[in-house]
A = this chain, B = another copy of it.
Amino acid sequence: MILSALLTSVGINLGLCFLFFTLYSILRKQPGNVTVYGPRLIQQGGESQQTNAFNLERLLPTAGWVKRALQPTNDDILSNLGLDALVFIRVFVFCIRVFSFASVVGIFILLPVNYMGTEFEEFFDLPKKSLDSFSISNVNDGSNKLWIHFSAIYIFTAVVCYLLYYEHKYLSSKRIDHFYSSKPQPHEFTVLVSGVPLVPGNSISETVESFFREYHSSTYLSHVVVHRTDKLKALMNDAEKVYKKLIRVKSGSMSLQKSMRDGFLGMFGKKVDVVEHYEKKLEKLEDDMRLKQSLLAGEEVPAAFVSFRSRHGAAIASNIQQGIDPTEWLTEPAPEPQDVHWPFFTASFVRRWISNVVVFVAFVALIILYFIPVVLVQGLANLHQLETWFPFLKSILNIKVVSQVITGYLPSLIYQLSVMIVPPIMLLLSSMQGYISHSQIEKSACIKLLVFTVWNSFFAIVLSGSALYRVNVFLEPKNIPRVLAAAVPAQASFFISYVVTSGWTGLSSEIFRLVPLLWNFVMKLFGKEDDKDFEVPSTPFCQEIPTLLFFGLLGTTYFFLSPLILPFLLVYFCLGYVIYRNQLLNVYAAKYETGGKFWPIVHSSTIFSLVLMHVIAVGIFGLKELPLASSLTIPLPILTILFSIYCQRRFLANFKSFPTECLVNKDKADEREQNMSEFYAKLVVAYRDPAVSASRNARGISPEDPPLLRSDQG
């Protein structure tokens, strides 16, 4: 790719971004779109005062949202949006810091060195220069200039490690602060016990009660045995749908049609009153539910949520092996009540084991299948290959603009589209693995997605694009640096345009929220406006973090190979910082708090990127006939990994659980300040299965009595 093709691509994308931002700044001021651009605000009761009155200011694009997005401090974010949001924002801050430094070094030192590597004279005619002139491949073999790259790698690694350490320290202290400042949460006082042994003559509830009364007499508070509720839940869902319709009918939004036929699709059979029809249906479901609920006592699962009087008590129960048989009385910290993945308890052990295997196979299959779009994309990026396959395209492809659009823009667009369907698949796969909470599922999906992205968007493209097709290189560890060093620099231009298209456009479509906007529009068109029924979308951490980390990986590996990528990445991270702050403040609402558990993934990914860069550097210096530099780079990955081990020892434990010091301090503070007896009363019922508790309460359902049925949405 030549420089002008890159500039074309940058131009198109800059234009698109500005278009999206302008549209956004206008559309967000329209009161009708508040459910699209400010669902979080509505939920909190803000912005609903907006008048429908027309004024000119509403049609002018302004940048006020940028200012508002940048206003809140880190502490505001922590207290309003939670720790996960802070971690997410800090990842951007971390990346911006890293790539600001990298850009300065890359653009002002490495780029000139590369450009003047071989040819001094041809300093003009920049637009027609290949991007390779800006990369390390332009430097002569054995040139001493490579020592500049060598030093840059060492300094860059040191800076990244320092920033990582700083961020670790900052976040772990914030995590403790957040813990100290938060109100008592049910999950802090609760452990999930599984593998409760079956004692003949005792119910599971009795067994749990007697065990914990015996061995945790001073701290045990209460327990809730888990029930198998999948059938009940299906009934509940039906009932809720009918109930919603009933309300709608009664309130008049469906008033056009006061009666309907009770046959197939409401079209045949005798005419009945709609209200009556739904009420009857609901009654029948109610009876079914009551029947199921009375049968539930016999469907206990050998697992229970056990609550304690103090956090320290819960930590004691979850950290020490409880029963003599290590496969019984397994304890682990409970997730938040709204975070519990109830279907987990329904599946038997064997089913879960099998589905784990199935998930693994599916994941591997997915990775392999993804070679197809990858190869397709590569075909587009290397136009001459396409020409040999389809000779009739030759004339079209020879038109300059077409070829520039195709090589600069199309490949990554196609690729991006094919990547878009992956996150839902990963979430689905992870949800089948038997995790007990939604947050664990998300975390697992995040890791899967990261592995998938790094493999398919980096290694597959690099190895297939360089026509090496040598995936089996990973079976011969000694050759890895050499092969990567040959293959990676060749793909620099593809990844630069990937950052510009996929990265920038991805961000602007994130803020524009095209799909919800269209959906909102269509709903309004068909008169199905349902202002109170909309759901606030939950923050898509598990989809955004892998993307973010992948761009970090690109920047790190290409830092010394092709520093031209750095400014584009920096723009990406700055844009992302503003946009995601805006989205977190206005659009998304966290359904549960993972306590910053995404951060360790960021750490591992950063260390992996650095080591990958070192491996490539070893190979490059070898290829460039500077064996001394190659050997001197080898200590660097070792030092990096030692640093990583140190960090993990120093900080990681803090992201898993809280130490005694914090737990006891917080317990004591609670005793002084909070009304604990009130909290205990809430705690006792916090972990009731929504299905059981709802159906237990929902004795006489009436439209005046909505919260009962709705409680299963949490």
Residues of B within 8 A of A659 (CB): 320-324, 326, 329
How would you classify the secondary structure of chain A's contact residues: helix, strand, loop or mixed? Answer: helix
Query: Is there contact, CB below 8 Å, between A660 and B322?
Result: yes
Provided the pairs A214-B664, A664-B214 are in contact, do residues A653 and B326 lie with their beta carbons within 8 angstroms? yes
A315 contacts which chain B residues (CB < 8 A)?
A: 320
Q: Are B214 and A321 in contact (CB under 8 A)?
A: no
Asked if A479 lies at the interface with its beta carbon under 8 angstroms from chain B, I say no
Hey, what's the 0/1 contact readout for A392-436 against B, CB within 8 Å counting as 1? 000000000000000000000000000000000000000000000
A215 beta carbon closer than 8 Å to chain B: yes
A316–B663 Cα distance when bound, in Å, is: 13
* Chain B residues with CB below 8 A from A214, complex form: 664
A324 & B650 in contact (Cβ 8 Å cutoff): no
Please state if B321 and A660 are interface contacts (CB–CB under 8 Å): yes
Annotate A288-332 by CB proximity to B: 1 below 8 A, 0 otherwise: 000000000000000000000000000111011111111101000
Q: Is A1 an interface residue (CB 8 A)?
A: no
Which residue from B326, B649, B661 sits with its C-beta under 8 Å from A654?
B326
Is A370 in contact with chain B by the CB < 8 A criterion? no
Residues facing B in A619-672 (CB within 8 A) are 649-654, 657, 659-662, 664
- Smallest CB separation, A196 vs chain B (Å): 13
Query: Measured between C-beta atoms, what is the minimum distance from A208 to chain B in Å?
Result: 14
Q: Check A316/B320 contact, CB under 8 A, given A661-B215, A664-B215.
A: yes
Q: Determine if B215 and A320 form an interchain contact, defined as CB atoms under 8 angstroms apart.
A: no
A176 close to chain B: CB less than 8 A: yes
A325 to B650, CA, bound (A): 7
Chain A interface, number of residues (Cβ within 8 angstroms): 29
Contact present for B322 and A319 (CB under 8 Å)? no
Across the two chains, which residue of chain B brings its CB closest to A653?
A: B326
Please give, as numbers and ranges, the residues of chain B lying within 8 Å of A653 by CB-CB distance. Answer: 321, 326
Decide yes or no: A650 and B322 within 8 Å by CB, A215-B660, A661-B215, A664-B215 being known contacts: no
Contacts of A215 in B (CB 8 A): 660-661, 664
Q: Are A322 and B649 in contact (CB under 8 A)?
A: no
User: Please, which residues of chain B bring their CB within 8 A of the CB of A321?
Assistant: 653, 657, 659-660
**How far does the Cβ of A27 sit from chain B's closest Cβ, in whole Å?**
47
Among residues of B, the one whose C-beta sits closest to the C-beta of A211 is B661
Name the residue on B nearest A650 (C-beta).
Answer: B327
A557 to chain B, nearest CB (A): 28
Are B176 and A324 touching (Cβ within 8 A)?
yes
State A326–B659 Cα separation when bound (angstroms): 8
Could you say how many copies of this chain the assembly holds? 2
Q: Which of A149-188 contact B (CB under 8 A)?
A: 176
Q: Give Cα A216 to B651, complex, Å.
A: 24
- Separation in Å of the A595 CB from the closest CB of chain B? 15
What 0/1 pattern do residues 7 to 40 of A give for CB contact below 8 A with B?
A: 0000000000000000000000000000000000
Say yes or no: B657 contacts A327, CB within 8 Å.
no
Cα–Cα distance between A555 and B381 once the two chains are bound (Å)? 61
Chain B residues with CB under 8 A of A322: 659-661
**Set of chain B residues within 8 Å of A661, measured between Cβ atoms:** 215, 322-324, 329
Q: Is B325 in contact with A662, judged by CB distance below 8 angstroms?
A: no
Q: Once the chains are docked, how many angstroms separate the CA of A650 from the CA of B317?
A: 19
Tell me, in angstroms, the Cα distance from A440 to B333 when the chains sit together. Answer: 32
In-complex Cβ contact of A326 among B316, B320, B650 (8 A): B650
**Bound CA span A427–B324, Å:** 34
Indicate whether A326 sits within 8 Å of B651 (C-beta atoms), given known contacts A319-B319, A321-B657: yes
* Nearest B residue to A216, CB-CB: B660
Whole-angstrom distance between the Cβ of A469 and the nearest chain B Cβ: 21
Specify which chain B residues have a CB less than 8 angstroms from the CB of A657 in the assembled complex.
320-321
CA distance A191 to B454 in the complex (A): 45
Question: Quick check: A320 and B660 within 8 Å, CB to CB?
Answer: yes
Nearest Cβ on chain B to A188's Cβ, whole angstroms: 14
CA distance A322 to B319 in the complex (A): 12
Report A453 CB to chain B, min CB distance, Å.
29
The answer to whether A324 and B649 touch across the interface, beta carbons within 8 angstroms, is no
Q: Known contacts A316-B316, A319-B319; decide if A324 and B664 are in contact (CB<8 Å).
A: no
Could you tell me the distance between the alpha carbons of A214 and B323 in the complex, rounded to whole angstroms?
29
Q: Would you give the shortest CB distance from A312 to chain B, in whole angstroms?
A: 8
Give bound CA distance, A325 to B316, whole Å. Answer: 19
Name the residue in A650, A652, A654, A660 with the highest tally of chain B Cβ atoms < 10 Å from its Cβ.
Answer: A660
Interface string of A321-356 (1 = CB under 8 A from B): 111111101000000000000000000000000000
* Shortest CB distance A473–B (Å): 15
Contact of A319 among B320, B323, B649, B650 (CB under 8 A): B320
Would you call B662 and A324 a contact (CB within 8 A)? yes
Cα A541 to Cα B143 in complex, Å, equals 61
Min CB distance A354 to B, Å, is 14
**Bound complex: CA of A176 vs CA of B327, how far in Å?**
16
A179 CB to closest chain B CB (Å) equals: 10
Bound Cα distance A649, B349 (Å): 15
Whether A649 contacts B327 in the complex (CB less than 8 A), given A215-B660, A316-B316, comes out as yes
**How long is the Cα–Cα vector from A149 to B79 in the complex, in angstroms?**
69
Q: Taking the nearest CB of chain B, how far is it from the CB of A83, in angstroms?
A: 16
User: How far apart are the CA atoms of A324 and B662 in the complex, in Å?
Assistant: 7
A649–B326 touching, CB < 8 Å: yes
Bound-complex Cα distance A664 to B323 (A): 11
A214 to B315, CA, bound (A): 17
A659 to B195, alpha carbons, bound, how many Å? Answer: 15
Residues of chain B with a CB closer than 8 A to A325's CB: 650
Complex CA gap A133/B193 in Å reads 60
15 contacts between A and B (CB under 8 A): A176-B324, A214-B664, A215-B660, A316-B320, A317-B660, A321-B653, A321-B660, A322-B659, A323-B660, A325-B650, A326-B649, A326-B651, A326-B654, A326-B659, A327-B650
12 new A-B pairs (CB below 8 Å) besides A215-B660, A315-B320, A326-B659? Answer: A176-B324, A215-B664, A216-B660, A316-B320, A319-B319, A323-B659, A324-B654, A325-B650, A326-B649, A326-B650, A326-B653, A327-B650
Q: Shortest 6 CB-CB distances between A and B: which pairs?
A: A326-B653, A321-B659, A319-B319, A215-B664, A319-B320, A322-B660
